[in-house]
Every structure is written in C-alpha cells, then in structure tokens.
Amino acid sequence: MVGRRGLFLTSAMAFGFAFLYLPILLLILYSFNASRLVTVWGGFSVKWYGELFRDDQILSAAWVSFEIAAMTATLACVLGTIAGLVMSRFGRFRGRTLFSGMISAPLVMPEVITGLSLLLLFVALEQAIGWPSGRGVTTITIAHVTFAMAYVAVVIQSRLAGLDESLEEAALDLGARPFKVFMTVTLPIISPALVAGWLLSFTLSLDDLVIASFVAGPASSTLPMVVFSKVRLGLEPTINALATLLVLLATLTILVSAWLMQRQERNQRRQAARALAAEAEEAATTD
C-alpha cells in the first residue's frame, strides 16, 4: 500500500513538473533550431540569437521595458514598505479597513479595468493641469507602481508580522530615534522581504502587457507589446531566442537573490551566536 502511494505521488510530481517545465525546455531547444519553421527541427544553430541582437525594434523595446521595470520595482518597494509598516505597526486607526482595502485592491482588480481607469485619469489630468503631456515611460511606470506596490506591501506586512517587536522597543529604550531604529534594526531584518518584493515587482512590470497597452504612447512600446504584435503575424524563431534569454535572466536573478538571502541569514545567525556568547561570558564573569 505504501509502495503504491509512493509511486502515485512520484508520478503526480513528475507529471506536474513536466506540465510546468517541458514547454520551457522545448522553447529553449527550438531557439537553437536552424529552420525558420519553429515546429520543424532543421539542425543546431545560434543564428537566431544573432538576428535577435540585430533587431532594433526588439532591442529598443527591451531597453524601455528594463528601464520601466527598474523604476517600478524601486518605487514600489519604497511605497509598499511604507504601506506595510502602516498596516502592521499602527494597529487600529480610523480608516484602517479602507486603507487596507485600497492597498489590496490592485491584487484582485482585472487588468483591463485598471488600465482603462488609469488611461482616463491621465487624460483628465492632461486636460486639467497639462501633465502628463502625452503618454509614455512616465505613465507606464506610474501604472505599474499602482499594482506592484500592493504585492510589496503584502510581502513586507507578512515579514513584519513575524518580527519580534521587543528588538525595536529595546533600541528605543536605549535612546535611539525611530528613524535610526528602522535603519539599524527593522530594515536589516526585512531586507530579504525587500529583495523578494523588488524582484517580484520587476518581474510583474516586465511581464505586463494589458495595462501598458492602455497607457503607453507611440514611442514607448514595451517588450511584451512588441512580442505580442510579432506573434500575431506568426511566430518567429527570434522570439524563441528572446524567451530563452529572459528565462536565463530570471533563473540567474532567482539564484543570486537566494544566495544573498542565505548569506544574510547566516550572518544573522552568526551575530545571534556572538551575542549569546557575549551574554554567557558576561554572566560567568558576574558570577
């Protein structure tokens, strides 16, 4: 019975991994296909990577997307951290339910509704105060921040929920100002959550198509918009090469972030061990 159960679980896990990652592996494989027909294998070749780096439209769109994603992730981390601190540290206050709902609303709001409402907002602002003058990188960044900060706020709030507040209280009792307490105590502890929130915001911004399509201008096409326009006319081999590079970038980013988090956790454990050793030594000296 146990053997059958183990076989079933193994088979289910293998099927799940195959369902998730087999399409990605096929995409990577066919990025090295010499044939222009993406479904017919014509031999090994890297020529489509060369074609990709000679495609000015894709390169320009990639630069715009990475620029927007970097600005979005940074702003979303700042605003999302503030929102997470408010929701986890200020307790009950008038309007907390409304504030929490407004922060979490972008998580469940359909992208079409978000994009359309932001488009109407930008048009109304341009007519009222003359800003923004046209749509482009600025409007896309603002639109992406509106939903990315919600994800950061959730991540930061969950991290702060498990934080021992006595550490902050001890620092305050020793005379540290609230800002210094945040910079020296709170921020190092929540930094893994900040890294995770930044990477999540960067990925969400880089991947967005629907919202960007509403608020983008004629000279600010993002990479998903360009790829979608090309795929509508037929799948090109350069798209496989581009997707492979993005998968590689995502994999390297995950590995680097995991290494940084593990390094910080080791440093925190080492510091905690040193603190305990110092306390034990002080107690032994006192005795």
Would you list the domain boundaries of the chain?
A: 60-236
Question: Which residues of the chain fall below pLDDT 50?
Answer: none
Give the position of tokens 């929490």: 100
Burial of 190 by CB count in 10 Å (0-12 exposed, 13-18 middle, 19+ buried)?
buried
Contact present, 101 and 173 (Cβ < 8 Å): no
With residue 13 as reference, give the H or E element that holds it: helix 2-30
Instruction: Give the Cα separation of 247 and 241 in Å (integer).
Output: 10
Specify the pLDDT at position 267: 75
Q: Give the dihedral of Cα atoms 177, 182, 184, 188; nearest 10 deg.
A: 170
Specify the pLDDT at position 42: 86
Q: What is the pLDDT of residues 231-254, one digit of tens each?
A: 887 778 899 999 999 999 888 888
Question: Taking the mean position of all CA atoms in its chain, how far away is CA 172?
Answer: 33
137, amino acid identity: V
Q: What's the longest Cα–Cα distance across the chain?
A: 81
Name the percent of the chain lying above pLDDT 70. 95
SS3 state at 85: helix
Contact present, 248 and 27 (Cβ < 8 Å): no
218, amino acid identity: P
Does residue 172 come out as left (phi exceeding 0), alpha (psi in the -120 to 50 range) or beta?
alpha
Instruction: Give the Cα separation of 50 and 268 in Å (integer).
Output: 45
What are the residues whose beta carbons fall under 8 Å from the beta carbon of 16, sequence distance 6 or more? none
Return the bridge partners of 44, or none.
33
Q: Which CATH architecture has domain 60-236?
A: Orthogonal Bundle (1.10)
Specify the pLDDT at position 217: 86
Query: pTM above the 0.75 mark?
Result: yes
Q: Residue 33: what are its φ and ψ, rounded to 5°?
A: -80, 130
